[in-house]
Amino acid sequence: MTAAKSAPRRRDTGAAEKEDPPFEASAFAGSLDGAAPPRWVGWRRQALVLAVVLGCLVVFALARWLATTPHVEGTWAAGPAGELVLKAHPAPALDARRGQAVVAIGGLAQPVDALLLHRWPRWQVDDGARARQVSQHEALAAVLAAPASRVQLHFADGSIAEAPVTARGYGGLGWLYWPLAALALALYLFAAVLMMARPLPSTLLFVVMALCQAGNLLFIAVESTDGLGLPAGALASDLAVRVALDLCTAAAAVHIFLLHPRRLPHAHRLALAAWAVVPAWGLLVTWGAALPLWWLGQGAFLALGAAALVVARVSHRIEPNPYALIMQGLAAAALVTLVLVSTAAALASRPPYATPAVAGGAAVTWHLFLASLLLLTPLLTRRRQVLREFALLAGASTVATSLDLLFVAVFSLGTFTSLALAVFIGIALYAAARQWVLNHLIGSSVLTTERTFEHLYRAARAVQAHPRRFPQLLAELLRELFEPLEVQRLEEGPPRARVVGGGAALVVPTRDGAHEAGGGDRAHPALVLRFARRGHRLFTLEDARLADRMVEQLCRAVAYDAAVERGRFEERQRIAQDLHDDIGARLLTLMYQAPTREMEDYIRHTLLDLKTLTRGLAASEHRFSHAAAEWKADLTHRLAVAQVELGWAFDIDHDRALSVVQWSALTRVLRELVSNALYHGHASHIDVAFRLQGPLLVLQVADDGEGRAPESWSHGLGLGGVRKRVKLLGGEVAWRENGERGIVCTVRVPDLAPRG
């Protein structure tokens, strides 16, 4: 937490509380130097409306296409040997055959099995099984497309029954279609809003990831419909297209981590290597039909995910940016769950295909988890508790369903036992992940309200005592609250606290009471706090609001102190005026009526002392050299009348201003010490020495009087007043014997910085 060099000057041109997008330049420099987010006017509003209309049209056109597709109703399941089993049907004649296996459909007796229930070729590991799966779906689509209202079902016992063929309708889309389609639409619109808010090439990478996963969700929505029968061609390109979408997502993630939050060496070359995997996959699909495509595609996907994790780790090692740390954690969570899903899909795809629905469910939950991460990432610094909980639940569900498959496939556990273990592990993982997220977004060592108030109260008292140290005291308070790794200073910053660099830094204006009174949105000097909790937590908008409240409270302390000082000044002026008009006039009258020359001189010098006192009370501050000259003139006159010699030494490194409080305290201390030497010590010679070096002031008054053994003195009003006034200055006073005769009093004030 050391102060670094000042960042370049800038002037904020946008709204104070707008947050910069998460993918800015290294650390936070781009957030400070970039233009403010544009307002939603002109072409952006029109483009957003157009994007909403197009997205809704796509979703409803897809729904209409599925609703008009013919299908065979019923509830179907996979048998123990991989056969297609009828579980229930709305037609009474077919419902009577529940539990029987269907081996073929149609007049040509097209063979079918449980692969007809596996709707996700993307997660079918065996190439031969995938080919049969796609072939069965295409053959069934051709059978159902024939102009007939019924289709033949061939059962394993050799019997044949006819099942009605009807259009699916909107009610037959299934309960998963609309939530998945809505999430895909939300992800698409979220990407559109982000791109239009910041039409920059860097934002395009995030848009690519969001659009790819929106496409994946639409594929899943289409393939999750009820009954038997999908539109022709719906599954033919499922593996090729969806793996390409996943590879684009992973390549974009690698590219983003290479650039943000810090551009790494050889970023463009490494990004080009990551993107080269996508066309390589296209060549494999076109020319490598004999190759194990699923293993190659999934391996490339996992490799890119691991590369993204490594890049995020390297970025955090180069610069301890908490954004890179959180991205590293999210990438690790996505990669680990992907490994679990891949392993579960590989094991579940083996004959007899007993759990195709569960295997597909694990893949669906993983894509939901990835989509929720994409929605959450740009909003990490905002309080989006519902979205965070949804992401955590999706991740825990992915792990639970994957472990359920693994327990059944590897350990041959019963359905209830495997499900119970998987749910227990998923809940434990959810709790641990939730705590990790809270630690990195809010912090595990968040100060309580009492501790925060204690820090604020101490800072406010310090500001009241030293108003001109407002920026330093504010920086100390912010260090105590947020524990930043670095603190920098800006000559000009925003009028309100801002989170920049995706939560890596917090810009806090150091406006004091004078700036606050000026109002407006003009720029102020600012502090830039980088890397909260020593690089382990992001700054959030709540932190910005808290910082603003801290600044406001300190500004109120400064304003209160200024108001008190104004009241004191006005009261001093009133007292000075009363002394001048009343006491001065009476002394002047007495001087003209004095019976002797000595009395007239005494009253005249008393009037001079009164004039010095009233002038000092009426002034707001005094130059140290001017005050010393007045002190010397006053002491010279007093000691000359008493026939006492004065020794005067004055050594200062540079002149400075004294507040009224400091001037008054030093004046009274000096007068009291000289008076004690005169009237109690009966001194014949008094030496007064001032030495001022930096903030340290040393005042020494020595005499050759009769005073001895100062440690045995009883401190009455005189010496007690000296101690009190020196303590008010923040110093200390000590008396000692002056050799064989007299007393030496030394006053030390370590910090004579102007106050008030």
Yes or no: say if 252 and 205 are a contact pair by the CB < 8 Å rule. yes
Q: Is residue 18 part of a domain?
A: no
Say if residue 25's pLDDT is above 60: no
How many whole angstroms separate alpha carbon 258 and alpha carbon 241? 26
Least confident segment among 14-28, 30-44, 462-476, 503-517: 14-28
For residue 131, CA distances in Å to 113, 293, 301 come to 13, 12, 22
Say if residue 550's pLDDT is above 60: yes
Q: Is residue 308 part of a domain?
A: no
Backbone CA torsion sign across 701, 706, 709, 714: negative
Q: Is residue 101 part of a domain?
A: yes
pLDDT digit string, tens, across residues 239-265: 999 999 999 999 999 999 998 888 899
* Structure tokens, 375: 């929605």
Domain boundary among 143, 167, 191: 167
Backbone CA torsion sign across 538, 541, 545, 551: positive
Residue-level pLDDT at 707: 81
Query: In the chain, what percentage of residues exceed pLDDT 90?
Result: 14
How many whole angstroms separate alpha carbon 385 and alpha carbon 540? 13
Name the 3-class secondary structure at 646.
Answer: strand
Furthest-apart CA atoms within the chain: distance in Å: 148
* Structure tokens, 231: 């539109």
Rg (CA), the chain: 42
**CATH number (domain holding residue 107):** 2.30.42
Q: Is residue 488 part of a domain?
A: no
Residue 686 phi, psi dihedral angles, 5° rounding: -130, 130
Say if residue 128's pLDDT is above 80: yes
Domain boundary among 135, 167, 199: 167
Q: In what order do the strands lie in the sheet with 645-652?
A: 645-652, 685-693, 696-703, 743-749, 732-737
Give the model's confidence band at 298: pLDDT under 50 very low, under 70 low, under 90 confident, else very high: very high
* Residues contacting 535, CB < 8 A, separation 6+: 320, 321, 322, 325, 485
pLDDT digit string, tens, across residues 386-398: 556 656 666 666 6
Number of domains in the chain: 2
pLDDT digit string, tens, across residues 685-702: 999 999 988 888 999 999
Domain boundary among 149, 167, 185: 167
Rounded to two decimals, what is the model's pTM?
0.67
Once rounded to an integer, what is the mean pLDDT over residues 302-309?
94
For residues 530, 318, 334 and 376, what is the CA-based torsion angle, rounded to 10 degrees? 20
Which range of residues forms the domain containing residue 710?
Answer: 621-756
The more confidently predicted of residues 711 and 310 is 310
Q: Is residue 516 part of a domain?
A: no
Cis peptide before 70 (omega within 30 of 0): no
Category of 32 on φ-ψ map: left (φ > 0), alpha (ψ -120 to 50) or beta? alpha
CA neighbor of 609 nearest in space, from 644, 636, 643, 649? 636
* Residues contacting 452, CB < 8 A, separation 6+: 481
- Listed in order, strand segments (DSSP E) in 578-709 are 621-623, 645-652, 657-659, 685-693, 696-703
Residue 451 phi, psi dihedral angles, 5° rounding: -65, -40
Q: Is residue 85 part of a domain?
A: yes
pLDDT digit string, tens, across residues 345-378: 787 766 544 455 556 677 788 888 888 878 877 7
Q: Is residue 670 part of a domain?
A: yes
CA neighbours closer than 13 Å in the CB half-sphere of residue 672: 20
Q: Is residue 124 part of a domain?
A: yes
How many whole angstroms separate alpha carbon 592 and alpha carbon 484? 71
